[in-house]
C-alpha cells in the first residue's frame, strides 16, 4: 500500500519544464498558484471518529392491526371459585317414562268386628245389662245375645252408639266397659208422648274387654220401650285395629 502511494506521488509531481517558466535566459520562475487547480487530489486521510447519537425521532403513526395469532397452549386448571347465588327455578320438565310394574304384594287381612241389635220388649229391671235380642247384624258373633254384652276379640278403636225410645217412665242409661260406666244419658218422660234418647262414644278396647248398656238408678227410671213400630237399638263396630 505504501509503495502504491509513492508511485502516485511521483506521477503528480511537476517536472522542471512544467513547473516553472523562464523570465529570461537562465532564470526559472515558479508557476502561479492558480496553476495548482489542475493538480490531482492528495491521498485520502483516515476516517474520523463516529459522532454522538442524535436525539430520538418522534413516534410514528400506529400500523395496521395484524392478523389473529394461533391459539396458545391450554394453561393449568385454576382453583375452584366461590359458590354462586342460587338461580331462579326453571320451568317444570316433561313427565318421565313410567317405571316397571312392581311385583304383586301380599294380600292384606281385613279385621272385622261389628254388631247392631235391638230390643224386642220393654225393660223393667235396672242395674243389669240390657239384653238386646233382636239381631240386625252380628256376623262375627262378637255380641252375645244371652248376656247383652259385646266381647272384644280384636284390639283397637271401636265406635258405640245407642238410640232409645222413651215411654211411660223416665230413662237413665249408662254404657259400661269392664264394670265401669263410661257414658250416661238421661231423658225425662213427657206425659202422653213418645220421646227419644241417644248417645255415642269412641273406646279403645283390648282383647277380652266387654261393653254393654244398663239402666242405672232406682226402679223408676226404666222407660226403655220397643214394639212393632218403635225401636231401641245398640250398635258397635271396629274403626281400626292395633298394629302392635
Domain boundaries, the chain: 114-241
Rounded CA-CA distance 65/81 in Å is: 35
Burial pattern 196-234, b for ≥16 Cβ within 10 A else e, equals: ebebeeebebeeebbbbbbbebeeebbbbbbeeeebbbb
- Cα angle vertex 164, ends 163, 168, to 5°? 165
**Of 1.20.1250.20, 2.60.120.40, 3.40.30.10, 3.40.50.300, which CATH number belongs to 114-241?**
2.60.120.40
pLDDT of residue 35: 46
The candidate with the shortest Cα–Cα distance to 225, out of 139, 121, 135, is 121
Out of 44-48, 139-143, 149-153, 216-220, least confident range = 216-220
Q: Identify the bridge partners of residue 198 per DSSP, sorted by sequence position.
A: 163
Say if residue 29's pLDDT is above 50: no
The candidate with the shortest Cα–Cα distance to 216, out of 164, 177, 176, is 176
**According to the per-residue pLDDT averaged within each range, which of 19-33, 55-69, 226-240 is highest?**
226-240
pLDDT of residue 153: 97
- Residues 123-140 have pLDDT tens digits of 778 889 999 999 999 999
- Looking up cell 471518529 gives 49
Please, which pLDDT band fits residue 28 given cuts at 50, 70 and 90? very low
The candidate with the shortest Cα–Cα distance to 214, out of 162, 143, 169, 168, is 162
Amino acid at each position: 500500500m505504501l509503495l502504491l502511494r509513492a508511485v502516485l506521488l511521483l506521477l503528480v509531481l511537476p517536472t522542471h519544464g512544467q513547473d516553472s517558466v523562464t523570465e529570461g535566459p537562465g532564470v526559472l520562475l515558479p508557476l502561479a498558484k492558480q496553476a495548482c487547480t489542475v493538480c490531482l487530489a492528495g491521498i485520502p486521510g483516515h476516517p474520523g471518529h463516529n459522532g454522538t447519537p442524535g436525539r430520538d425521532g418522534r413516534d410514528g403513526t400506529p400500523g395496521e392491526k395484524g392478523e389473529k395469532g394461533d391459539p396458545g397452549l391450554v394453561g393449568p386448571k385454576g382453583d375452584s371459585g366461590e359458590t354462586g347465588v342460587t338461580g331462579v327455578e326453571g320451568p317444570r320438565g316433561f313427565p318421565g317414562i313410567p317405571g316397571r310394574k312392581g311385583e304383586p304384594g301380599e294380600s292384606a287381612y281385613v279385621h272385622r268386628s261389628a254388631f247392631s241389635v235391638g230390643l224386642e220388649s220393654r225393660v223393667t229391671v235396672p242395674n243389669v245389662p240390657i239384653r238386646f235380642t233382636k239381631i240386625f247384624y252380628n256376623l262375627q258373633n262378637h255380641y252375645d245375645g244371652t248376656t247383652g254384652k259385646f266381647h272384644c276379640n280384636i284390639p283397637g278403636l271401636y265406635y258405640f252408639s245407642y238410640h232409645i225410645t222413651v215411654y211411660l217412665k223416665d230413662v237413665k242409661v249408662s254404657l259400661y266397659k269392664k264394670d265401669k260406666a263410661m257414658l250416661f244419658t238421661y231423658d225425662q218422660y213427657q206425659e202422653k208422648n213418645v220421646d227419644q234418647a241417644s248417645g255415642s262414644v269412641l273406646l279403645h278396647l283390648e282383647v277380652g274387654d266387654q261393653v254393654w248398656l244398663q239402666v242405672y238408678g232406682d226402679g223408676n227410671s226404666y222407660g226403655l220401650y220397643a214394639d212393632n213400630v218403635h225401636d231401641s237399638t245398640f250398635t258397635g263396630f271396629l274403626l281400626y285395629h292395633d298394629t302392635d
